[in-house]
Structure 1
Amino acid sequence: MSDVEADGAKANGASAEGTKADEANLQDWVGRTEEASDQAYPTPARALAATLDQAGVDAGVGKPLPELWHWLYFLPIVPAGEIGPDGHPKRGGFLPPIALERRMWASGRYVFHDRVRVGDVLHKTSKITRIAEKQGNTGRMVFVTVKHTVRSGRGPAVEEEQDIVYLPMPAAFTPPPPTPAPENPAWSEPVALDPVLLFRFSALTFNGHRIHYDLPYARETEKYPGLVLHGPLQALLLLEAARRHAPDRMPARYTFRAVYPLFGHDRLTLMGVARPDGGHDLFTVNGDGHVGMQATVAWAANER
């Protein structure tokens, strides 16, 4: 998870010739698939419930897991000798060997068909569906879209599209233009951030990216002003808050997009705004009133 993040990481000493060859062959990776199996064991669910301070989650065998908690499974487990300098698995494998140094989970789109239950044997099919190159303010960017389909013995459970963006390493931290928080949210919740929360979430998702727990690395190498708050953790916190404010509803679809980096030293607030279609727009907001992540949840017609 990258952040629940897919595998692939920073290149070491890639030559200009090798970089050009990689770029020329990127489209050859479109259509590549990968299969994986796992089981929804109860211990990771209990640990995430404790990490989020949610005593009401029942992780007994057969109990349904909250939506997005399937991120606790299908983890990118590789030997220590195959870890790159940023903490991610070395480049190669399923994802293309893009030579840009920085990688982030930019956005995601979800359809929930059936709830994953504790004890379920799960199967996941992953497919690279799109690779697109763009020019941004910081230079060349490459977006890789991966579609994951998670199934249990009952049939499809979750369809997920994950957009991963690759960027050059900046010389200094230059944030994008901020988006202001909504003025009159339907609800607003503060969240206490600390390094322990970031570390525990990294551990639960087997996310070794050092920007989330190694402050000298985050500052000196990737040029961030502090430990970076995971995109998936923000997405999870938002959906959990939305479910608390609509306890009788079930998410049918969920989308999120990171628009501004948030950090472990930030003062975090979760906000929700009702939509005319019955869903909710969701926002993580820092102490300066800048939106970090935008998300939208659409509720199923049936109640829980």
Structure 2
Amino acid sequence: MIPDVIDPARARAMQVALGLDGTIQSGDALPPFFHQLYFWDPQPPENLGRDGHPKVGGLIPDMGLPRRMWAGGEMQFHAPLRAGITAKRLTYMENSQHKQGRSGPLGFVTLRHEIWQDDILCLTDRQDLVYREDPNPNAAKPTPPDAAKDEEICETRSFDSTLLFRYSALTFNGHRIHYDIDYTKEIEGYAGLVVHGPLLAQLLMLLAERELGGLSSFAFRATAPLMHFETAELCWRSDGRAWVRGPDGRQCMEATAR
């Protein structure tokens, strides 16, 4: 269990980093997914893995696979989480398993986070993580799915290393693929810095909240990485479907909002 005061200044900093007005004050309900700004669990350097994440082997079992990705998640919003008030997060390991994928062995872990405030369950957040081997430079690159083109709303969004750094800092995410270009290219085999999957989900959630007037649930799945130098399109349909389309038409993320 991790307690934390839901500092409104940190929420305002996120609003500004995302290009919004910093308006959140004590007592205000947080936008959806802003709970990820809180409940940090800082570890000393010796407890970190090569990628900047805490070493596995505690709550998350060591599957012998070095590369980690936040593959998706699902949230149920039960009650508003309000700024300026102490809250607590309880985390449970719901599931872990090995599978054989087309690119090699994979490890899947599902964590369940519960956020409580004033003895009220405000939200349930299931986080899906995937672990994999280091890339084989001689292996064929996986083919990402094509994104749909039947959206009713399409918003263009650009990313840069400054936004990725600020987002990593606000969420206390030490994963080096988001800020260390040499590590990202030489060790994990990406073409550039990787835009955080949760950052894409955050932008889709804000779009969905605006169109629906509020959210009761949101589920997302990452399907292809997006690089920091690429421009993406945030797509929305009134049936609750949302997705991120890369500049070459590939689907980077799909989501469903209610």
Aligned to 2:58: 93
Q: Pick the structure with greater CA Rg.
A: 1
User: Counterpart of 1:162 in structure 2: which amino acid?
Assistant: Q
In 2, distance between residues paired with 1:282 and 1:175?
26
Residue 214 in 1 paired to residue 180 in 2?
yes
| 8 Å contact from structure 2 (residues 105, 133) kept in 1 | yes
Deviation at 1:58, TM superposition (A): 2.3
Residue-by-residue CA offset, 1:29-84 (whole Å, 9 max, x unaligned): xxxxxx221110112101101100110x5221101110110000112311233222
Query: Partner letter of residue 215 of structure 1?
Result: I
Q: 1:45 to 1:164 in 2, by over 3 A?
A: same
1:175 is displaced (CA, Å) by 4.3
Matched, 1:243 2:209: yes
1:270 corresponds, among 209, 234, 246, to 234
CA distance in 1, matches of 2:141, 2:218: 26
* Aligned equivalents of 2:166, 2:13: Cα separation in 1: 9
Amino acid across the alignment from 2:226: L
**Per-residue deviation, 1:97:** 1.8
Q: Which of 58, 64, 71 is the matching residue for 2:36?
A: 71
Q: CA deviation at 1:136?
A: 0.5
- 2:241 corresponds to which residue? 281
Partners of 1:181 and 1:165 lie apart in 2 by 22
Structure 1 unaligned residues grouped into runs of 5+: 1-34, 299-304
Q: Following superposition of structure 1 onto structure 2, how do residues 47-196 of structure 1 map, counting pairs within 5 Å? A: 47-55=13-21, 57-153=22-118, 155-172=120-137, 175-196=141-162
After superposition, the C-alpha distances for 1:87-121 in whole angstroms (9 at most, x for unaligned) are 11223332112210111111101100011110121
Shift of 1:154: 5.0
1:175, 1:261 within 8 Å by CA — same for their partners in 2?
no
The one-letter amino acid paired with 1:294 is E
Is structure 2 residue 4 aligned with structure 1 residue 38? yes
Name the Cα RMSD after superposition: 1.4
TM-score (norm 2): 0.95
TM-score when scaled to structure 1?
0.81
Cα deviation digits, residues 108-167 of structure 1 (max 9, x gap): 011000111101211111111111221101111111111111110050101111111111
- Taking the aligned partners of 2:141 and 2:210, their CA distance within structure 1 comes to 32
d(CA) in 2 for partners of 1:252 and 1:217? 38
| C-alpha separation in 2, matches of 1:154 and 1:112 | 15
**Contact 1:143-1:164 within 8 A present in 2 as well:** yes
| Matching residue within 152, 155, 163 for 1:197 | 163
How far, CA to CA, are the matches of 1:263 and 1:240 in structure 2? 21
Supply the AA of the counterpart residue of 1:216: D
Residue segments in structure 2 that go unaligned for 5+ positions in a row: none
The alignment of Structure 1 onto Structure 2 pairs a total of residues equal to 257
Deviation at 1:274, TM superposition (A): 2.3
**SS of alignment partner, residue 264 of structure 1:** coil
Residue 174 of structure 1: CA displacement? 5.1
CA distance in 2 between partners of 1:224 and 1:147 (Å): 29
1:232 is the counterpart of 2:203: no
